[in-house]
Structure 1
Amino acid sequence: MSGELSPIDKAKFVAAKRAVDFVEDGMRVGLGTGSTAAWMVRCLGELVREDGLRIKGVPTSSRTAELARDCGITVVSLDEARWLDLTIDGADEFDQDLNLIKGGGGALLQEKIVATASDQMIVIADVGKEVEHLGHFPLPLEVIPFGWQTTQALAEEMLISMDVLGRQSSLRMNGAAPYVTDEGNYILDLHLNRIGNARQLAMVLNQIPGVVENGLFIDICDKVVVGFGDGRVEVRDINDGSIEEGRLDFLEDDNLFRDLGE
């Protein structure tokens, strides 16, 4: 497998592989959405099939639910699980305080609900997702379809008073039609370039009529597992400030992800 993976894919794989070490038998686990989270779901599926790991997975999107079932993971709703031991998910950006931008995959609402209903959230990411200041990646804003252009105008006007470098926004598209989330909403991508006060911005955005949720995850992530293209992996814990370093070796005959569609 390793000969077929790009350095970024290797970094995603080692982060996902290391993160599932935190999953214990009997846990209720939130399953994130996105390319890196898909590697994690496949790793968990392997543990379920080959090691007899017993878990209940709460997916954060319909496509993650489908993948989890295909991998043999028992899937339940958040209402059935009620509370989770752990959520493992990816991120589009993270800073040194483990604040995040999420939603590039369009599942930010369910991702935030699931993450905040967990005892612990672990983020898995390749090292390229680490930034000094959030905002280079467009900030997703989930909005209801009714009056979305008014909501967009209100958001752009509000950004004038915020500590950001850009104030443009765009409606996320799926071909010729607006992208629609699992909850039937639209997504506005805010092109901010740099966010000076993420906590303030998150609170203000959610006060705009028509906004359902924003993609800033503040004080939610407990650990980030950072993968590198050479197989190195770091586990950074925001609670105790520790950094654990390691390395995962690749097996040439490891075909765990041979049919994974990114």
Structure 2
Amino acid sequence: MTQDELKRLVGQAAADYVKQHVPEGSVIGVGTGSTANCFIDAIAADRARYRGAVSSSEASTERLRGHGIEVFDLNQIDSLPVYVDGADEINALGHMVKGGGGALTREKIVASVAMTFVCVVDASKRVPVLGLFPLPVEVIPMAQASVARALTAMGGTPQARVRADGSPYVTDNGCTILDVRGLQILDPVAFETSVNQIPGVVTVGLFAQRGADLCLMGTTAGVEMTDYRN
């Protein structure tokens, strides 16, 4: 199967999981990216079963509304039974690098209130050590240079993200992103803490302190499920 076919496979598997485990009438958390888009498309057939969704990006909000699914502000919701999102990398403990799509801060916020975090990926995202994919760090614009110096001192090579036309990349929160290359993140929990403590950092795309509870991974043999709560 192609990578796109694997993404559709796990998107459908996540929709089936949510339908089986989440009570009817619930509001569900929905992430950002191509695999999350496959999940959004897959739940559209059962949209009447859910009260609606909380979205981690403007792009996902638009896609959900296009399917007729109501999107709520997180401030309107007390809790989320599930949050479904993709990852750029995931290790054997369910720690992830996320934020290739630029929505890492909102993804972290939605994940923090969800009872169960379901990560949906294809097998290419499984790694023994995090860091091969550039680590995104969302930064207050005035602190970009100082944060870059701090990240360099930590062993990385940060580069400001730009759009295809060369213009600065601006997040949905009005901030910039530094993509940090050259890392081997051997202790993701400690590294996440260290980066978050740099003044000017909004958040880092390490999801280790709040990692995945469950991973649905598309492989050539089908969908492989790993439960990190066991």
**Class of the TM-score when normalised by the shorter of the 2 chains:** over 0.9
**Shift of the alpha carbon at 1:73?**
0.9
**Count of residue pairs brought into register by the alignment:** 224
The Cα shift of 1:229 comes to 4.1
Q: Match for residue 11 of structure 1?
A: 6
Q: Which amino acid aligns with 2:169?
A: Y
Give the % identical residues.
35
> What is aligned with 2:63?
67
Alignment of 1:163-202 (within 5 A): 167-174=156-163, 175-202=165-192
Which structure's CA Rg is the greater one? 1
| Deviation sequence 1:113-159 (CA, Å, 0-9, x none) | 000110010000001100011110000000011131122112212x1
Q: Secondary structure at the match of 1:125?
A: strand
Give the alignment's TM-score, normalised by structure 1: 0.83
- Tell me if the contact between 2:151 and 2:157 (Cα under 8 Å) persists in the aligned partners: no
Whole-angstrom CA distance in 2 between matches of 1:32 and 1:229: 24
1:81 to 2:77 alignment:
yes
> More helix per residue: 1 or 2?
2
Distance 2:174 2:96 in 1: 24
SS at structure 1 position matched to 2:141: coil
- In 1, Cα distance between equivalents of 2:225 and 2:191: 28
The equivalent residue for 1:106 is 102
Distance 2:185 2:70 in 1: 39
Q: What runs of 5+ residues in structure 1 fail to find an aligned partner?
A: 1-5, 161-166, 241-262
CA separation in 1, counterparts of 2:37 and 2:217? 16
1:93 maps to 89
What TM-score, normalized by structure 2, do the two folds share? Answer: 0.94
What code does the residue aligned with 1:127 have? Answer: A
Corresponding residue number in structure 2 for 1:244: none
- The reply to whether residue 39 of structure 1 matches residue 28 of structure 2 is no
Structure 2: tracts of 5 or more residues without a match: none
Question: Who is 1:119 aligned against?
Answer: 115
Following TM superposition, by how much is the alpha carbon of 1:193 offset from its aligned partner in structure 2, in angstroms? 4.0
Name whichever of 211-220 and 120-129 sits farther off.
211-220
* Residue 10 (structure 1) shift: 1.1
Please state if 1:220 is matched with 2:215: no
